[in-house]
Structure 1
Amino acid sequence: MTSNERPSQISLRFLAEPTAVNFGGKVHGGTVMKWIDQAGYSCATAWSGSYCVTVYVGGIRFLRPIPIGHLVEVNAKIIYTGKTSIHVMVDVYSGDPKNIEKEQTTNCIIIFVSVDEDGKSTPVHNWEATTEEEKKLADYAQVLMELRKDIHKEHAKIFGEI
């Protein structure tokens, strides 16, 4: 399979079940984060063709709660690749299953690294932006990488180097 045939996006759909309820009667934020990680992982591994590990989740925004019983759609798409990393944007939508319309509830960026059987990072296929929207998101991913450098510097001042 060539990198052109590899899927660069994936969608997961399911019903928000009562087992996911929080004390406020909505879907627990931790459950939403699990769904985000699962969709991101599925997208990254399909692209890389190898096992991937989550190395960063950032800018997660909970825009509105998800009611129990809603149809949930979790969309993950690649917005940038490095040598061994895959940057995935994940958007979560939900809505009454009786209606077509869904509202965005959550979004974030996740970075995965492709690893081999020994846990060592391995190269990934290069993803190239082709549409204006993809180019905008790829630029956004690069801006976030620069911002994270400053965050890591500040973190090191307080907690030391890792």
Structure 2
Amino acid sequence: MAGLDREITLRFLAEPTDVNFGGKVHGGAVMKWIDLAAYACAAGWSGKYCITAYAGGIRFVRPILVGNMVEVCAKVIYTGRTSMHIGLEVKACDPKFCQRETTTHCIVIMVAVDEDGQPTPVPEWVPVTQRDIELRDSAMKLMEMRKKIGAEMEAHIHP
């Protein structure tokens, strides 16, 4: 039922097919996992098909090794009328010891769409805890920053 589950965690082992030329898990593989978790979280919250509208602020903190246990945690941190801001944190560890350490974090904005691909309303998420209020406020500040960055990027898109 929509509007009940705001968090999801995906867990799996990093496979040899995920490796880059440096012997670590490829950043593109990590970004794919982030997108999958963001979708699962957004679809679970909205009860609708969702598309990725934005992925930003991605920080690769430390590498993931092949064979590591990987955990991708996603949670709704802000809702608009049709969009959901999803905060994501990727952690990894050697499965023999499993002291998970953050490897990557970012925010993804997902938009719920109807059968015609048009944006459709999502349930509102209302923060309750102080931490949730801080996350919501941070998401709102980032929205303002993205507007400024978008305006600056226009110069690169349309010279």
TM range (shorter): over 0.9
What is the aligned-residue RMSD (CA, Å)?
1.0
The residue that corresponds to 1:8 in the other structure is 6
Cα deviations across residues 133-159 of structure 1 (Å, max 9, x unaligned)?
111110000000000110111122342
| Contact 2:69–2:98, Cα closer than 8 Å, also in 1 | no
TM-score (structure 1 length as normaliser): 0.95
The residue that corresponds to 1:76 in the other structure is 74
**SS, match of residue 120 in structure 1:** coil
2:89 paired residue among 75, 88, 91: 91
Q: Identical aligned pairs, as a percentage?
A: 56
The residue that corresponds to 2:154 in the other structure is 156
| Residue 2 (structure 1) shift | 5.9
- Could you tell me how far apart the structure 1 residues matched to 2:62 and 2:10 are? 19
Amino acid at match of 2:138: Y
Unpaired segments ≥5 residues, structure 1: none
**SS, match of residue 32 in structure 1:** helix
How many residue pairs were aligned? 158
2:43 paired residue among 36, 42, 45: 45
Cα deviations across residues 64-94 of structure 1 (Å, max 9, x unaligned)?
0001111000000010000000000110000
| Contact 2:87–2:107, Cα closer than 8 Å, also in 1 | yes
**SS, match of residue 39 in structure 1:** helix
The residue that corresponds to 2:103 in the other structure is 105
- Could you tell me how far apart the structure 1 residues matched to 2:33 and 2:20 are? 15
Amino acid at match of 1:84: T
1:54 paired residue among 52, 55, 60: 52
TM-score (structure 2 length as normaliser): 0.96
Amino acid at match of 2:71: E
| Contact 2:2–2:47, Cα closer than 8 Å, also in 1 | no
Cα deviations across residues 93-119 of structure 1 (Å, max 9, x unaligned)?
000101131000000000000000101
Cα deviations across residues 41-76 of structure 1 (Å, max 9, x unaligned)?
000000000000000000000000001111000000
- Could you tell me how far apart the structure 2 residues matched to 1:129 and 1:82 are? 13
| Contact 2:2–2:44, Cα closer than 8 Å, also in 1 | no
- Could you tell me how far apart the structure 2 residues matched to 1:87 and 1:2 are? 16
